[in-house]
Amino acid sequence: MKPFRVFNGEVNNKATKIFKGEASGICDWDDIKYPVMLELNRAMFGEFWIEDEIRLNEDLKHYRHSLTDRERYVYNILTGMLTQLDSVANRFNFLLGYTCTDPSVAANIQLVGAFEGLHARSYQYLTSTMLNAEEKKEAFNAPKELPLLKERNKEIFELIQDFVDDPESMDKLYKALLAYLVLEGIYFTGAFAYFHSLARTNRMIGSNNMINLIKEDEVQHSVLFGTIMQILMLEFPELNTKENMEFTLEFIKRCVEKEKAWAAFIFDGIDNMTINEYSDYVEYLTNVICRNAGIQEVFPENKELRSKWILTYGSKKKKEGGLATRSDFFQTNVINYSHESGDGFDL
């Protein structure tokens, strides 16, 4: 396999295509095919953070004394599950960047990969603060053991693996990218709502602050990968077929049903968020990834975020100058909510 040339003095700096094209290998940000890639690169670097910015002292007290057994279990299992997804994301981005012709797109994909590694480390920070060794083992093994979670992830991982095994196939690349959009935009982002629901009752604020930093990154990733999907369809019209569009819509619907089945199990016994609220949110998130990727909305009746508290507790304060990439992504707003003093992160 010959994915790209590190240098080719015979051709232009501007890539002819993002995959399987030609480019000199010189990344001249003033001479790129898709200028939005520079905007995205600046936006992603602008969000740089590390987990030490968050203090978890108060969270530890809450975890031990204010959470129910069920709430603790869900906290543990979800952090384990999120670690699994970020671990996969980290590796997937490595391969995708490797197969990319356009150095500006590759630079963005590599940056996403690095952030996914940071996210995995952040869950490590949460779990190593709250959980004992036995709980942590249970949490990190849950993705290998819980049937509904395994079932939910199965097809996503199969499509990504198909591309890993055969990275020359454009059809497999398209399907892996589609699976990745669901993984990031629905499976990750949906699970974050649980942490927002705890913050809603003034518990685990530090954990939720960290989740909101991660979520902000995922918002950008969804825009980047949605854009890449649109470019892929433009540059490879043979992929932009009725058959593939039908596959896309059916696949997304299947993934949403599996997410709802998993949610009904994992959020059973949780009082701060109802299954109906969660289902509405998942459908809303699905529409967002569809809009970003230029796909028709799968749930047109769920265009708006119905549970406004998800926005209230699920947003971090925007930096001055607004590095957000698309303002409608989460109906972005500046929200402050009360938290104990001494928290290191300035909300």
Q: At what angle do helices 205-235 and 189-200 cross, to 10 degrees?
A: 160
Whole-number minimum distance, CB 83 to Fe ion, in Å? 10
Selection from 154, 142, 187 nearest residue 289 by Cα: 187
Closer residue to Fe ion, CB minimum distance, 156 or 270: 156
Whole-number minimum distance, CB 347 to Fe ion, in Å? 20
Whole-number minimum distance, CB 119 to Fe ion, in Å? 4
Answer for the pair 146, 77: CB distance below 8 angstroms, yes or no.
yes
Residue-by-residue DSSP string for 12-34: -SS-S-SBS----S---TTS-S-
What letter does residue 187 receive in the DSSP assignment? I
Closer residue to Fe ion, CB minimum distance, 116 or 259: 116
Whole-number minimum distance, CB 210 to Fe ion, in Å? 12
Taking the CA atoms of 180, 185, 189 and 191 in sequence, report the sign of the dihedral they define. Answer: negative
Closer residue to Fe ion, CB minimum distance, 58 or 217: 217
Selection from 129, 106, 103, 152 nearest residue 51 by Cα: 129
Answer for the pair 194, 270: CB distance below 8 angstroms, yes or no.
yes
Closer residue to Fe ion, CB minimum distance, 71 or 86: 86
Closer residue to Fe ion, CB minimum distance, 71 or 116: 116
Selection from 100, 125, 124, 126 nearest residue 111 by Cα: 100
Closer residue to Fe ion, CB minimum distance, 84 or 287: 84
Whole-number minimum distance, CB 208 to Fe ion, in Å? 16
Whole-number minimum distance, CB 113 to Fe ion, in Å? 9
Q: How far apart are the first and last CA of the chain?
A: 47
Alpha carbon distance 35, 25 (integer Å): 17
Judged by the rule CB under 5 A, the positions of this chain that interact with Fe ion are 86, 116, 119, 184, 218, 221
Helix (H, G, I), strand (E, B) or coil at 323: coil
Whole-number minimum distance, CB 251 to Fe ion, in Å? 19
Closer residue to Fe ion, CB minimum distance, 86 or 280: 86
Alpha carbon distance 153, 156 (integer Å): 5
Alpha carbon distance 258, 125 (integer Å): 29
